[in-house]
Structure 1
């Protein structure tokens, strides 16, 4: 079963996803008139709450929506995902992560605008957003099978197994192994059960509690990680230009990649970027669709900041730390252990503990938000009265993630992400002219105010 999951993920993340996400996103970037580049200043002023109105239907503010979305995206994809990209594709994979991010900003602008434009209601009459409602409300009932495909893949792919796996690895490496307290499988079970209890306390309180916790945790965790990484970058500041040149030149040579082909580097970069910023997958529209905003374009502009913060800023800093310290060439470690080795090399004694705190907060905040995504998919499939059962299934899989193999865990999540992207991108293309028309109208009104 494990071999099948790995083979499926490798196949679908080849040409199929490259065409869907990179190709599709590039078309949307042109179609939007390069909105991510032209309107980023306006997006930042929106994020500061300039136009918030608490009387508009929805469950959370736009800032809380972006915080929750970033809590899910700025996470272990930025710490261990970048390490996996460099291990498999060399520094050049980071260049293709950048390309994916700018393309992803356009994709997120469209998908999250549509999430407000075509909101639906669940079986309890609660206003909901997300690709499944966009498909049903915007494309019509005959396309509803795409909503089911999205939600079935979401229930399986939006589990916190990767976060549980990597958090367990960090805790064992940093705290237990040096103290001689690691007992192998038994330790994994204890850590898994502890994580399950912590996550249960937050997620059983619903989206408002999740958003409340995320909007407090996210600025803190990004700030802590940012400061630590900047200290390391400044320590090696003389080597930074060489590293940036290496990222660009390797992107077109493929020298450091396993297999040595440029195509392999592009695929690795695109795959890790999609896991990191989730543009085109359809997760962010679910949380942005719950925001108190009746201006679709405004929500789309706020949402497009996600891939920029996530991939251009945070992933680049992580990549620089791994490259500047040279650990990617001198150690057999993979995933989060590689980033841990880099922090240890740069800041002996304290680096590993600072990273552990960041990983702890990154992983837990992602676990909180993912539960909301999966809950919404389950709600759509089985009705609001049964949706809470999903939370119990979700909590049990945290323990499973803690004890499973990393490769199988990454491949299962990657495979389901790819399946979710297909209905999301089909609906986005189908309804893109509606976003374009609404965008023209919105900016015309902004000029006249």
Structure 2
């Protein structure tokens, strides 16, 4: 049965992330970039100034919403996760160093796609029966497009509900227990026989934690992510930059392998990666798995922001993709490629490869800090995707289904902690691709609204 599921998923995955998907994702990103005259580049300094500059704004949000910074932290909580650590490692081993280049290209276009998604989500959001702001792809399809397109909203929500249990929960929790298990075995704190019991306890603790945070509502989610995301990002950045600086002599060769390997992958992978398309496919798919540009999920969190104009929050979308992919994913790639560890090209490696990069530079003691960072990344992603799933289930079946969904979602953490999830990673990638289809169609059709709102915000700037 498992072999049948795996075979079917492989066929679907190859189609979803095949040439049509690459054309769709890159094509929509290019289309939006041309329509806004590459706002992600032209207004990048303005975007950074108006996002980083508001980090320390501690003003309270109105009822039913959260502050703009809490919104971006909640979105980053969903995006900055195991995709930045395990996903990048997998992209390099399967697609070669050149996959990093294609990850950058997808991020460059993805910044504009994410900007458009967030702007539309805030513009077309609405208040639910509980008085909370709700928005995202299903709402900008419902409120922005004519009725004969509304089936896309239901399709997105359906794929969203199915995706969150794997992408946002089970695979993330599995990463947490893998990190903790490795740590305990390395320091002889537990035997391999006792790990199953330990994993069950960890799963139960995570389930309770996730449940309490999600049931506390959007304001509690915002407060938790506002604290957790900057801490985990800073910890990872400090440790990662240390690896790069201590191996600075390898940096020129690493960048050469990234740029040349993007077009000649076999030259840098011992022939194990011979296809340009394989390198491109893994770079783009893992990049989107990480930053979610094109999926539309991050806009669900941004739609809850207490903000005066949609474009003001849209600028956070540019900042979010830049932080997630250009900064954190690039740092992960440099950790792996600069450290001099043996890279098993052609195999499916994960977070353990990134951890090897740290330990080969600092020694075994650093595994404590990498485990903490990995756990924070994965836990924050679980919270962020819990919000996404609750909004999707609410759109499909109403507010009465939110609490039962959150309970079930929390309990899935126990499964993620105790079951081997090798196949689930591949299925999660497939559902990510399926979610992107209705969203990209909607963003393409609503691109005129994005241009109109952008002109309006920048006072009909002559550049537009």
- Please, what TM-score do these two structures have when normalized by structure 2? 0.91
Change (3 A) 1:103 1:258: farther
**Distance across 1 between alignment mates of 2:110 and 2:348:** 30
CA contact (8 A) 1:28 1:107 kept: yes
The equivalent residue for 2:183 is: 174
Q: Secondary structure at the match of 1:158?
A: helix
Greater Cα shift, 236-245 or 174-183: 174-183
The equivalent residue for 1:44 is: 48
1:120 aligns with 2:126: yes
The equivalent residue for 2:215 is: 204
The equivalent residue for 1:336 is: 351
**Distance across 1 between alignment mates of 2:316 and 2:265:** 35
CA contact (8 A) 1:155 1:378 kept: yes
Correspondence for 1:152 among 145, 158, 182:
158
In structure 1, runs of 5+ residues without a counterpart are: none
**Correspondences of 1:28-427 after superposition (within 5 Å):** 28-47=32-51, 48-49=53-54, 59-124=65-130, 126-159=132-165, 160-176=169-185, 178-179=187-188, 180-183=190-193, 185-255=196-266, 256=269, 258-329=272-343, 334-427=349-442
Aligned length: 447
CA contact (8 A) 1:87 1:328 kept: no
Greater Cα shift, 418-427 or 168-177: 168-177
The equivalent residue for 1:437 is: 452
The equivalent residue for 1:13 is: 17
Q: Deviations over 1:409-442 (max 9, x none)?
A: 2122111111111111111111101111221121
Greater Cα shift, 352-361 or 183-192: 183-192
**Distance across 2 between alignment mates of 1:8 and 1:185:** 33
Greater Cα shift, 170-179 or 79-88: 170-179
CA contact (8 A) 2:86 2:351 kept: yes
Q: Secondary structure at the match of 2:440?
A: helix
CA contact (8 A) 2:97 2:265 kept: no
Change (3 A) 1:388 1:219: same
CA contact (8 A) 2:124 2:139 kept: yes
**Distance across 1 between alignment mates of 2:19 and 2:215:** 39
Task: Measure how far apart 1:124 and its partner are.
Answer: 4.3
Greater Cα shift, 115-124 or 423-432: 115-124
CA contact (8 A) 1:120 1:137 kept: no
Q: Secondary structure at the match of 2:76?
A: helix
**Distance across 2 between alignment mates of 1:357 and 1:55:** 31
Change (3 A) 1:22 1:328: farther
- Please, what TM-score do these two structures have when normalized by structure 1? 0.94
Q: Secondary structure at the match of 1:309?
A: helix
